[in-house]
Structure 1
Amino acid sequence: MSAGAVAAIDLGATSGRVIVGHVGPDTLDATPVARFPNDPVQVADGLHWDVLSLYGAAVKGLREAFRTEPGISSIGVDSWAVDYGLLRGGRLLGNPFHYRDSRTALGVEAVHGRMPQADLYARNGLQFLPFNTLYQFAAEPTELLGFADTALLIPDLVGYWLTGEARAEQTNASTTGLLREGVWDEELVAALGIPRGILPPLIAPGERLGALLPEVAAAIGAAPGTPVTAVGSHDTASAVVAVPMQADAAAYISCGTWGLVGVEVEHLVLTPDALAANFTNEGGVDGRIRLLHNVMGLWVLSEAVRTWERQGHPIDLPTLLDSAEEVTSEVPVFDVDDPRFLPPGDMPARIDEWCAEHGVAAPRTRAEYARSIVESLAQAFAEASIEAGRIGGVDVRTIHIVGGGALNELLCQRTADRAGLPVLAGPVEATALGNVLVQARAAGFVTGSLESLRDLVARTHPPRRYDPKR
């Protein structure tokens, strides 16, 4: 085997990237060749993704990828979960709604009126989140769902535009709430009044989705027939591939806009404990299960920064975090999973509101707000890591933090302190690495199990260790 090159389209909730990866038995790197914003658009009927601009930017990024590395042998796409586009006859019927749009509340009421959460959990094992896809379907006008002939989650939609093949990749499909033991739950789909015909055939990570359409290949300078390979298209599924962990002794935190905190297990965990703790069972690569809890993540900090900047106070994040580390006074530790922190808006004011309701003193300075957010996230991460191990039967002895949160030294250290366990931080580019690793294995550049892929990550991207101080 020798090293080969692949391209990854990695679409996050605030930005997107195209990455060129080189992978071989002793080689693993991921170099971004294009970055672009992913800005939602508020219009009269709600908050939407500008998916056409996003796709256009991805195509431009692929053009740059093939310019810099003509030998790319495969393309893979990952993104955030739950959101989708509706199509008829291959034509998109409207810009997809954003999961933070308030319409989902109507969908929750409609779904739970037909099937209580406990019954849903017994079927799909999903944590209750008001924006899960099945609630979004229930919020759609009945005539629109009936008119559509296909629903594609965001990475599947991008894959369709690249290849003309409509498939639902399994790890992302598992976030819809409509899978049962890895296949579409026909009984649940019918009970919720969802047209069965809009759900496309499933495809597993590592399988070939299809070849680039000739016009796409020509536009980006790719060789005719260049394949698009299904990866763990839920970005967390790709990230978990690249966590350099021993799965039977570790918890992971994929930390970015969200903090996905969990353990990897072999089978669904549908116990009363898992339901009560609001843990989710999502599909992973190679049939693994990601037993995890969604924590609000760095969204709270980034929205606070945006609020201050709108108020005319430019913020340098590293300087803000340095100031937060120097705070010695007590700061409130608030519940970051409180629903008030989900929508965009004034996070400092919402923290003040939470503090007033709970009889604690609110932060006074921006440094104290930042420290309060970091402490609150660290507490939530520590609790969820330990709880994940207990519920999943995993003896958690270390916590791995990957993604952008691995760069936040204060967050990593305070998570270690609050959990009383060492934290291993990195790689930062875990999602991209997981994406390219699955493609590379499909292409034959590397072989073996997830464990061997993780060993390659550990050898080429050794994590930074944070031991608990108190």
Structure 2
Amino acid sequence: MLECSLAVDIGASSGKMLVGYIKNGKLRLQEVHRFENRLIKRDKHFCWDLQSLFSEIVTGIHASRDQGFVPQSIGIDTWAVDFVLLGENDELLTDAVSYRDPRTDGMMEEVFQQISKERLYLETGIQFQKFNTIYQLYYLKKNHPEILDKAKSFLMIPDYLNYLLTGNKTNEYTNATSTQLVNAFTKKWDRELLDQLGINKEMFQEILPPKSTLGNLKPELSREFGFDMKVLLPATHDTGSAVVSVPESNDTIYISSGTWSLIGVENNFPICVTKALDYNFTNEGGIDYRFRFLKNIMGLWMIQEVKRNYHNRYTFADFAEMADQVDDFHSTVNVDDDRFLKPKNMIEEIQKYCRETNQTVPETSGEVAKCVFDSLSVSYQTAIDQIEEVYEKEFKKINVIGGGSQNEMLNQLIADTTQKEVIAGPFEATAIGNLASQLISLGEIENLNEARQIVKNSFEMKVFRSKNKTEGLK
């Protein structure tokens, strides 16, 4: 039996569990379990099925043992902003309502009537998105105040899953920052904001940073698995873990490419300046209290939905190939338009947008795919221009990590559009970063710099350069 650490990486459409260990100075990975994650409808809201997700985690722990591994530790990362509230007896008072649910429509504007947009940004440094936790909580305050009055514990999705493993409650730092309720400078819950909004501040837990030890498994789980292990906190925000996998460089912008595209740079301090506010950049917390200065852009969600609209007749590789074969089609959409957040039919919404903006309407599957990929590359270029303006410097390279790093057509398109060198990989960036944090906590890796060097030496990365010297899509 091989000792290892176990990473649980859950995204908006699927989850996976990978074991990792150091051998001959390299990080070795093996996937032991994969599962689907989908929204369910409860009481007219789109919700996550947390009991199903926890059941899959239990199945994955068993699978790791069945495949010859003995995990010494486990760490969980998920998407951001969503949460549950627990009552006095730790009963669930709320479902885990998804950020894609329309309940927050109009809530951001109502919050601005009580707290100015400028103050919110200068104190928290967080990008304005209508589904941020602050607006979800304000919805409850306005429509179900009795729930907030009863709430004794606020737990974000990975916090709750960790609670089910250990019985211990905490709010992990990187995910907590996404709520738009953590002061960027004190790194604690902003109690003045909570008081001003009338939100029960006593339900929030102590904020612990990545690499903290939450505890061991509940005794009944240890007996079920036949072994015990530590539950450690990686950066529980999946992008926070992914960025751990990006080799440090002063001239590299990263794109964490998955359901969402997170494009930005790592910083040692928050950039809460007017220009960053104007461009709606965020300063999310990272490992070692670093900051991820980035913009959250609609990502491969659009092509995922297009795939579903075509009844999964085509693979993602098919869409890339079909788009690459389309020459004379150049319509693009604003990928950050709220209409693409959860439309009834993504293809029809794309077509409608093109029709409304007097562009050629995509009809074939290849044209639809090309429209999505071209639109993403244009949004990346815009964000890069804004980053370079704020930093007053040019960045030479782009490191694409995550699932999108496997899309060679899109990587080449990014290189052609931006006229920058694109480095693709590592593919499993989030799980790798999750594991790296655990291994640092366990003392098997000394620090973040060593972790990044190990990642660089362990995984092959592909380089894309512009095939033309002309200016790309604008």
Instruction: Judge same fold: TM > 0.5, yes or no.
Output: yes
Distance across 2 between alignment mates of 1:393 and 1:218: 57
Distance across 2 between alignment mates of 1:316 and 1:15: 16
Contact 2:21 2:28 in 1 (8 A): yes
Q: Which string of whole-angstrom CA distances, capped at 9 and with x for unpartnered residues, describes residues 246-300 of structure 1?
A: 1x11100001000000001111101111001010000000111000001100001
Contact 1:385 1:399 in 2 (8 A): no
Q: How does 1:17-416 map to 2 (within 5 A)?
A: 17-23=16-22, 26-88=25-87, 89-140=89-140, 141-180=144-183, 181=185, 182-223=187-228, 226-246=229-249, 248-309=250-311, 314-392=313-391, 395-416=394-415
Helix, strand or coil for the counterpart of 1:424? strand
Equivalent residue letter for 1:150: S
**Alpha-carbon offset, residue 30 of structure 1:** 2.2
Distance across 2 between alignment mates of 1:90 and 1:232: 25
Specify whether residues 201 and 25 from structure 1 end up closer, same or farther in structure 2 by C-alpha distance, changes over 3 A only: farther
Distance across 2 between alignment mates of 1:123 and 1:439: 30
Q: Which string of whole-angstrom CA distances, capped at 9 and with x for unpartnered residues, describes residues 203-223 of structure 1?
A: 110111111111111222323
Distance across 1 between alignment mates of 2:355 and 2:305: 20
- State the match for 1:456 in structure 2: 454
Distance across 1 between alignment mates of 2:68 and 2:108: 47
Specify whether residues 210 and 431 from structure 1 end up closer, same or farther in structure 2 by C-alpha distance, changes over 3 A only: same
Between stretches 204-213 and 40-49, larger displacement belongs to: 40-49
Specify whether residues 394 and 92 from structure 1 end up closer, same or farther in structure 2 by C-alpha distance, changes over 3 A only: farther
Contact 1:186 1:196 in 2 (8 A): yes
TM norm structure 2: 0.94
Specify whether residues 275 and 367 from structure 1 end up closer, same or farther in structure 2 by C-alpha distance, changes over 3 A only: same
Equivalent residue letter for 2:164: W
- State the match for 2:472 in structure 1: none
Distance across 1 between alignment mates of 2:199 and 2:365: 47
- State the match for 2:14 in structure 1: 15
Q: Which string of whole-angstrom CA distances, capped at 9 and with x for unpartnered residues, describes residues 61-93 of structure 1?
A: 112123334432111110000000111122222
Between stretches 21-30 and 55-64, larger displacement belongs to: 21-30
Distance across 2 between alignment mates of 1:15 and 1:191: 37
Helix, strand or coil for the counterpart of 1:337? coil
Contact 1:9 1:76 in 2 (8 A): yes
Contact 2:168 2:215 in 1 (8 A): yes
- State the match for 2:446 in structure 1: 447
Task: Give the count of matched residue pairs.
Answer: 461
Distance across 1 between alignment mates of 2:461 and 2:91: 45
Q: Which has the higher contact order (CA 8 A, sep 6+)?
A: 1
Query: RMSD of the TM alignment (CA)?
Result: 1.5
Identity %: 36
Specify whether residues 451 and 385 from structure 1 end up closer, same or farther in structure 2 by C-alpha distance, changes over 3 A only: farther
Distance across 1 between alignment mates of 2:322 and 2:70: 46
Distance across 2 between alignment mates of 1:390 and 1:139: 36
- Structure 1, unmatched stretches of 5+, are none
Contact 1:253 1:402 in 2 (8 A): yes
TM norm structure 1: 0.95
Q: Which string of whole-angstrom CA distances, capped at 9 and with x for unpartnered residues, describes residues 158-200 of structure 1?
A: 1111111100100000000110021111101111111011110
Distance across 1 between alignment mates of 2:160 and 2:139: 20
Helix, strand or coil for the counterpart of 1:103? helix
Equivalent residue letter for 2:10: L
Q: Which string of whole-angstrom CA distances, capped at 9 and with x for unpartnered residues, describes residues 32-57 of structure 1?
A: 11111111102332111111111111
- State the match for 1:468 in structure 2: 466
Helix, strand or coil for the counterpart of 1:9? strand
Helix, strand or coil for the counterpart of 2:97? coil
